[in-house]
Chains A and B, each alone.
Chain A
């Protein structure tokens, strides 16, 4: 069951024998933190960053009262998640605008991080906000980098400026000058990828910053980066005092722990994420989503919270009892549908289930109209049929289909679903918790 091989399961498993209700104890937290540590390391969070984070969370969690609705495991996850979200910062997908136009955005980062493509994405994004954007080709080293930016400019509807392979500072100065004269309000400078330890090339960026008034210095970081992310981010920030970070290639299956590392060592906001090769594939940064991605557990916490608010504990107990007595009938099934409806958009919920990210699910998302149809079907049944679905023979099914404006196949499908749910709940019933 790969779907449940995530951090929250592991922690819940570690806690399965504990029924402690008061406050979280040191031992409990220590056990859980062992799992959290491994999860962070597997996600490529830097070793030192992970260590600091765990120390902080442990302190925070110690003595924390366990909410009535949560298990100790869930409580720990809640604290971990909250702290992680806090560390990630807020959604700050705004780019500063210079008081004296044009606004100048300088992109920087290691080789192959995705700067050139990101220039186009930002240009398109800004263009949609009514800006007139000029892309300046300042990568004079990589073969065909200038051609690449020119094509990207064309695709994103931005202006393009190049001077061939001459001194990059000169190009930047002339580019900004060109923008001013030609009515561009925003300039994006694409610089060559470089290693953070290459002093000569780092000095080159510093020189550009001295020569033109840069409004935003954005560090572009590949989401797949490992432990070295801290060294890279620290060096670039120290040399250039970056104003923000962009994470690229998040459409891959990486857990993206580098995001946390970069944020931890620079403290600078993460502004955008790249999620594909097309110019439109740009998203604002969502700290909560990133946090659960790093922990490898989907948006479990929101799910826990939503489930808890929709179904109080008393009701959950009642349901569990019914399952034990095997009296879970179509009335209960209908009630479940209502609860689910209360919890909000079904597809949002599905995306919160660990491991069930939209990419992997593909077309397997849930059709809300189908839920409405199923409710209609159940409502067309007699009280007897609802409490004892076994009596549903063909002629009854035909009648129900006619009454609910559906087909017999629809009715069959619903009954099958009911059987499966009953089965599934029976399996989870042992834990007296909902099957999340």
Chain B
């Protein structure tokens, strides 16, 4: 079920669309220029980025030379291993009490992810409170309220246009007095190159630290798998502002693969924790590097 099937389903369609032939490629039995060119095509097409693609292919040549590999079928395993080595194996585990703040640029799927996360934690028998700290976008609070209802959790919400830090302050106070396990903070979408909005995010972050020092802090950034190389800049700047712990990669149910997370893990050591594979409440899954790599190749 789930991740693997959905991704394979999506990828099957892309593969058809681009005349995909990796398997044939590996079956062909020769490592010529065409082989590496096709490989490059696959990686670049998955938004891995030109530099990381080059590094991966270089590493593949290197490892195969080292082990004297001449069988192309084996090359696939080698390639897979290289990608797995980059991605690593890290799972998200929240120690309670915890505050999980979700941020990212506009429209990537933050609010939806909050709803799905709430659902996951409720299933783990945790008590959850949602803080509607996007007080900026039209009807953001109402949208989150629907998700809170779906997940059957409490929500703290102020008026549109009010101070998001005040929302967080209220939520944290409420969580402390009630002994809530996990507070999920939804934030307004913001482009990382907007200084004042990043300052606002830092302020929200500080309020949590100051008001709830005993809580475990987790800052997640949501990336849309459809996004290209700009995701590097997004993670870089959000990380500088508020220390990002991990990534939620959404919209993997489409044909995009979000290969830029390889570059991000490789250069900033920030792992993917969850993947979004649809708009339903159950469509958030723990990241599984193996299936993900299978999906790309």
Contact = CB atoms under 8 A, between A and B. Distances in A.
B260 interface: yes
Contact of A144 (B17, B107, B139): B139
A277 interface: yes
Given A141-B279, A224-B230, A252-B105, A148 B139 contact: yes
A9 B136 CA distance: 41
B109 interface: yes
Given A143-B143, A231-B17, A38 B50 contact: yes
B138 A147 contact: yes
Contacts of A258: 228
Contact of A147 (B107, B136, B139, B233): B139
Nearest to B193: A253
Contact of A151 (B17, B107, B139, B254): B139
B143 A228 contact: no
Contacts of B49: 41-42
Interface in B34-56: 41, 44-47, 49-50
Q: How large is the interface on A (under 10, 10 to 19, 20 to 34, 35 or more residues)?
A: 35 or more
Contacts of A196: 254-255
Nearest to B227: A224
Main secondary structure of the interface of A (DSSP, over half): loop
A417 B70 CA distance: 64
Interface in A107-142: 110-114, 116, 141-142
A351 interface: no
A227 B45 contact: yes
Interface string A53-90: 00000000000000000000000000000000000000
Contact of B146 (A43, A144, A195, A197): A144
A4 interface: no
Contacts of B206: none
Interface in A198-232: 222, 224-228, 231-232
Contact of B253 (A42, A150, A195): A195
A112 B255 contact: no
Contact of B191 (A144, A147, A151, A249): A249
B138 A148 contact: yes
Given A142-B143, A147-B142, A257-B228, A227 B254 contact: no
Contacts of A224: 105, 224, 227-228, 230-231
A146 B160 CA distance: 16
B138 A151 contact: yes
A14 interface: no
A155 B191 CA distance: 22
Contact of B192 (A145, A197, A227, A253): A253
Interface of B: 10, 13-14, 17-18, 41, 44-47, 49-50, 105-109, 136-140, 142-143, 145-147, 160, 191-194, 224, 226-231, 233, 251, 253-257, 260, 279
30 contacts: A38-B50, A41-B44, A42-B229, A47-B41, A48-B18, A111-B107, A111-B109, A112-B109, A114-B107, A143-B145, A144-B143, A145-B143, A148-B139, A148-B140, A195-B253, A195-B255, A197-B13, A197-B255, A222-B224, A222-B226, A224-B230, A225-B226, A227-B228, A231-B17, A232-B226, A232-B254, A251-B193, A252-B105, A252-B192, A257-B228
Interface of A: 38, 41-44, 47-48, 110-114, 116, 141-145, 147-148, 150-152, 155, 195-197, 222, 224-228, 231-232, 249, 251-255, 257-258, 277, 359
